Amino acid sequence: MRRRPGIQGIQRTAQARDHFKALGKDVAATRLEHMQAQMASFKENLEEFALKHREDIRKDPAFRAQFHTMCANIGVDPLASNKGVWAQVLGFGDFYYELGVQIVEACLATRPLNGGLMEMKPLMRFVNRRRGSKAEPITEDDVIRAIDKLKVLGGGFSIMKVGQQMLVRSVPGELNTDKNEVLRLAQGRGFISKKQLIEENKWQEARVVETLWSLLKEGIAMADDQGPGGQRLYWFPCLEASGATQAEVL
Amino acid sequence: MTDFDFPFFFNYPPYFTLQPVKETREKQVELWTELILRYCRQQRAYILSTSTADDNPLFYNRKIERRLNQDARLLFLGELVSRGNARWLDKDRRQCLVLWKKLQEWADTVYSLVRELGMQESVMTVDELSSGDEVAGTELEGAPHELLVEALKLLEAQGKAQLFSGEGDLGVKFF
C-alpha cells in the first residue's frame, strides 16, 4: 500500500505522543499519590509510636539510643529538622540542641586550661552539673549525637579516640600519630616524662623532644619541673590524673 | 587561720612551674594573681616573701610537694605591683605588700575611721592606728606599719594629714 501523505502521519504521531504523555503523567500522579499516602501513614505510625513512648524516649537513655537505631535503619533522621514533627512531638530537637549548647559551653570554659581537648567523662560531669540534678540523665551516645549535630556549624568539634578513651576536641585540626601515642601512654597517670617516652617507644630523643614541645605549644601539655630528681614531667590537663604525682615515674 | 578553699589548679603540679609557652603562662599568671589577692583578702595577710625559704601555704602545696620558686613569685607579685594591687617593700623585691584593697581605699578607710572617732586635730602614732584600743575590731586592726605609712603618705599628699617623726615612731596629725 502506498504511504499516506506525510502531514497526517506526523499529526498522528504527535497525537500518539500526547496520549502517551498524558498516560505517563497519570501513572506518575497515581504513584506519587500512593507514595504520599504511604509516607503519611508511615509518619503517622512513627509519630504515634514516638508519642506513645515519648516519656521513655526522653527519660531513658537506653531506649533513646534504640529509638535512634530504629530511625537510622529506616532512613529517618529525627534530628534533621527542628521545625519538623519531631520537635513538636518529642521536643526532641530541643533536647540535642540544648545538649549541644551545653557541650560548647563546657569546651569553651575549659579551653584555656586544656588546649581544647577534653575527656568524655569530665565533659559529661561538667554538662550534668550544668543541667542540674532534675534533668534527665545523658549518655555518651547522646553526647556523640549532639556533637555530630555541631559539626554543621563548622566549629571544629570532633571526637577522637585515644587508647580506650574518647576525647572531645573543640579546636580545628588533628593530632598526628606521635602526639596521639604520647597521650595514649600518659593516660591513667595524666603525665609522662621524656625518659618514659624514649623507653616505651624506642623513639629517638629528637623525635620525643619535638613531639612534646609541639604539645606544649598547642596548650595541650604543661611543664612541671618538680618531678622526682628534678626531671621535667609533661602533664595533660585533658587527661584525668590519677593523683599520683611522685610515684612510679620510670 | 580559717580554712581556705583553694582552686583546682592549686592541686595540679604544673601550675607550680613557670610555663615555657607564652599563652599558657599568661593564663597561669592570671590564675595565680587572682588567687593571691583572694587568699590575702580572706586570710587578712598583707606581706608576702619572694624567698623560697618562706613556706607560706599559699606558695607551697605540701600535699603534692610542689612550690613556687623565686622567679615565679617575682613574676606573679610583679604583675600585681604593675596593676597597683601590690607594692615592693624593698628594692631587692624580697618583701611585697599585697594591696587587696587599693591604697586609696585604705587611705579612705583610715580617714573616715579617724573622723568617726573624732580624732582629727589630735596627734597619734602610726602604731596606734593598727594596735590602739580605739581601732580594735575595726578594719585597721593588725594592719602592718608599711601599709599604714603608705596610706598616710597618700592622705598627706591630699592635704588630709601630716606625718612627722616622733620619738622612735612616726606620728600623724589629721585635718
Which pLDDT value is given to residue A249? 34
- The answer to whether B19 contacts A223, with C-beta atoms less than 8 Å apart, is yes
Inter-chain contact A235–B27, Cβ cutoff 8 Å? Answer: no
> Is the Cβ of A225 closer than 8 Å to some Cβ of chain B?
yes
Residues A6-19, mean pLDDT to the nearest whole number: 85
pLDDT at A248 over 70: no
Interface contact A246, partner B, CB < 8 A? yes
* Closest alpha carbon within chain A to B20: A223
CA-CA distance, B57 to B74, in Å (whole number)?
17
CB B118 within 8 A of CB B111: no
Considering only CB atoms, A223 lies closest to which of B9, B20, B23, namely: B20
Class of domain B8-98: mainly alpha
In this structure, the strands spanning A158-162 and A165-169 are antiparallel
Q: How far apart are CA A144 and CA A148, in angstroms?
A: 6
Provide the edge-to-edge strand list for the sheet that holds A233-235: A191-193, A233-235, A222-224
Contacts of A59 (CB under 8 A, 6+ apart): A136
Interface of A with B in 97-116 (CB under 8 A): 112-113
Res A69: pLDDT: 80
Residue B73 is predicted with a pLDDT of 95
| Cross-chain Cβ contact A223/B14 below 8 Å | yes
pLDDT digits (tens, 9 = 90+) for B7-26: 989 999 999 999 999 999 99
For residue A221, give how far its alpha carbon lies from the nearest alpha carbon of chain B (Å): 9
Q: What confidence score (pLDDT) does residue A52 get?
A: 79
- Compute the nearest-CA separation of B51 from chain A (Å): 17
Burial of B52 (C-beta count, 10 Å sphere; 0-12/13-18/19+): middle
Q: Which residues of chain B have pLDDT under 70?
A: 1-2, 166-167
Residue A127: phi, psi to the nearest 5?
Answer: -65, -40
Query: Residue A45 corresponds to which amino acid?
Result: N
What are the boundaries of each domain within chain B? Answer: 8-98, 103-174
pLDDT surpassing 70 at residue A35? yes
CA distance A174 to chain B (A): 20
In this prediction, residue B70 carries a pLDDT of 93
So what's the architecture of B103-174 in CATH? Orthogonal Bundle (1.10)
- Residue B18's pLDDT is 96
Q: Measure CA B35 to chain center.
A: 13
Q: Are B8-98 and B103-174 the same fold in CATH? A: yes
Mean pLDDT value across chain A: 81
Per residue in A39-71, pLDDT (tens digit) is 788 777 877 777 777 777 777 878 888 887 877
Residue A215 has pLDDT above 80, yes or no: yes
Please name which of A3, A220, A236, A207 lies closest in space to residue A111, comparing C-alpha atoms: A220
| SS3 track for chain A | CCCCCHHHHHHHHHHHHHHHHHHHHHHHHHHHHHHHHHHHHHHHHHHHHHHHCHHHHHHCHHHHHHHHHHHHHCCCCCCCCCCCHHHHHHCHHHHHHHHHHHHHHHHHHHHHHHCCEEEHHHHHHHHHHHHCCCCCCCCHHHHHHHHHHHHHHCCCCEEEEECCEEEEECCCCCCCHHHHHHHHHHCCCCEEEHHHHHHHHCCCHHHHHHHHHHHHHCCCCEEECCCHHHCCEEECCCCCCCCCCCCCCC
Instruction: State the DSSP code for B98.
Output: E
Chain-centroid distance of CA B124 in Å reads 23
For residue B25, the chain A residues in CB contact (below 8 A) are: none
Cell of residue A243, nine digits? 593523683
Contact state of A245 with B13 under an 8 Å Cβ cutoff: yes
> pLDDT tens digits, residue range A146-200?
888 787 777 678 888 888 888 898 887 777 888 989 999 998 889 999 998 998 8
Tens digits of residue pLDDT in B138-168: 888 888 888 888 888 888 888 888 888 866 7
pLDDT value, residue A244: 44
Cβ atoms of residues A195 and A231 within 8 Å: yes
Q: What is the pLDDT of residue B15?
A: 95
Backbone angles phi, psi at A25, to 5 degrees: -60, -45
Give the H or E element holding residue B164: strand B161-165
Cα torsion through A48, A52, A55, A57, rounded to 10: -60
Q: What pLDDT, on a 0 to 100 scale, did the predictor assign at position A250?
A: 30
- How is residue A164 written as a grid cell? 580506650
* A156 and A172 Cβ atoms separated by less than 8 Å: yes
B112 touching A (Cβ < 8 Å): no
**Cβ contact B152:B126 at 8 Å:** yes
Grid cell 614541645 is found at A213
For residue B159, what pLDDT is reported?
83
For residue B46, which amino acid is it? Y
